[in-house]
Amino acid sequence: MRKKVLVLGGNFGGLTAALSVKQALDGDVDVTVVSASDRFLFNPSLIWIPFGKRSATDITFPLEPTFDAHGIEFVHAAATEIAPLSRRVNTTAGTFGYDYLVVATGYRNDMATVPGMRDTDGVHTITTLPDAVEAGEGWRRFLEDPGPVVVAAAQGTGCFGAAYEFLFNAAYQLRKAGLKGRVPLTYVTAEPFLGHFGIGGLPGGERLLKLFCRKEGIQVITGAALAEAAPGRLLLADGDKLDHAYSVIIPPFRGQDVVASTPGLADEKGFVPVRDTYQSIAHPTIYAVGIAAAVTVPWTAAVAVGVPKTGFPTEVQARIAAANIAARIRGERQVRHRSFGDIPAVCIMDAGNNGVMILADRMLPPRRLGLLIPGPQAHAAKIAFEKYFLWKARKGLVRLP
């Protein structure tokens, strides 16, 4: 009998895993993707939405035609229950059985980390498409009545790249609007030092980012936790207060409810503990990739700092999981192994009309190589990569780099 592979989620991890396992077995497998969203979203470009540099249609495409073209069933529905023992998943569109399950359900914002963040006027985040659109509406209101701007990476977050990109894009937009020097711009971060990035930092990173911030007139507060968001004011855990007319906070992430509520599957944050094959430790027929997979933070700090789970490592994990599922279906041993920390770090940090290319041989230390390459070519490279990746993903060409 043909084996059934069920994939939950259709973005970076889900799309790559589904197509990779289908191609690895030359189509001799039934693959179904269940996704709460019917569109692929290129998350790295969300930082441009608030400034009107991108719209939703620029950075999304419909998933069903892509999967249909490759013989994969697509179901636009939300998973409501995972039953590992009976190998079934209940969804809003019915129940689906599986031989192997890939959990690529991504994240939800942990808004409770900063009381008041969810419903305080002038306080936004940009980590989902609706959030970024709302932050854009707030930015346009801000331009009509400017005041202090605060960008914050909250305690426990790992998505520092988005915080830095929004910070420097905001500085660029303030300069274009003739507001540089007229309104204070502050960066508050849980990082113990600038350029930690949730990966322990890279050589020269702190010095480079200090230069960026000095050039843009950005006040920096490191090693800080947010205690509360209130209208016109952010309260820090040490008692300091920051006035703001507009602020963007990057919260920590949690796993989706359907994963978190499955007994024995997830950790306290709702992420799935996995082996270096991306196979669930608790349930051998379940794999988890991307943000859905748990990663151990290899350090302690006075203020909690998470680890970034970005698109590049997500793709790597999805390919590894797919290769191992395909091997098991063929009756072979799992042959692909790579822990999260061993995956190379490849990232482009945009800064409006400038930026930094970040490269390292390993995501987490110890490393042999780590480079930060600043310059306007980084901005051009991010635009080019966005176009390339959306083309590649829409066509289902997941074997391309």
Domain residue limits, the chain: 4-107+255-341, 111-252
Structure tokens at 76: 């636009």
Q: Any idea which architecture 4-107+255-341 has in CATH? A: 3-Layer(bba) Sandwich (3.50)
Are the folds of 4-107+255-341 and 111-252 the same?
yes
Q: Distance between CA 400 and CA 384 in Å, rounded?
A: 15
Q: What pLDDT score does 322 carry?
A: 98
> Left (φ > 0), alpha (ψ -120 to 50) or beta: where does 363 sit?
alpha
Q: What pLDDT score does 298 carry?
A: 85
Low-confidence stretches of the chain (pLDDT < 50) are: none
Q: Distance between CA 270 and CA 258 in Å, rounded?
A: 9
CATH superfamily of 111-252: FAD/NAD(P)-binding domain (3.50.50.60)
50-53: which pairs have CB atoms within 8 A and are 24 or more residues apart? 50/124, 50/126, 50/132, 50/135, 50/136, 50/138, 50/139, 50/166, 50/248, 51/136, 51/139, 51/169, 51/173, 52/136
Query: Buried b vs exposed e over 137-159: b needs ≥16 C-beta within 10 Å?
Result: ebbeebeeeeebbbbbbbbbbbb
Where in 154-285 does DSSP place strands (E)? 185-189, 218-221, 226-230, 233-236, 241-243, 246-250, 253-254
Q: Distance between CA 310 and CA 317 in Å, rounded?
A: 11
Q: What pLDDT score does 23 carry?
A: 97
Q: What pLDDT score does 155 carry?
A: 98
Q: Is the pTM of this model over 0.95?
A: yes
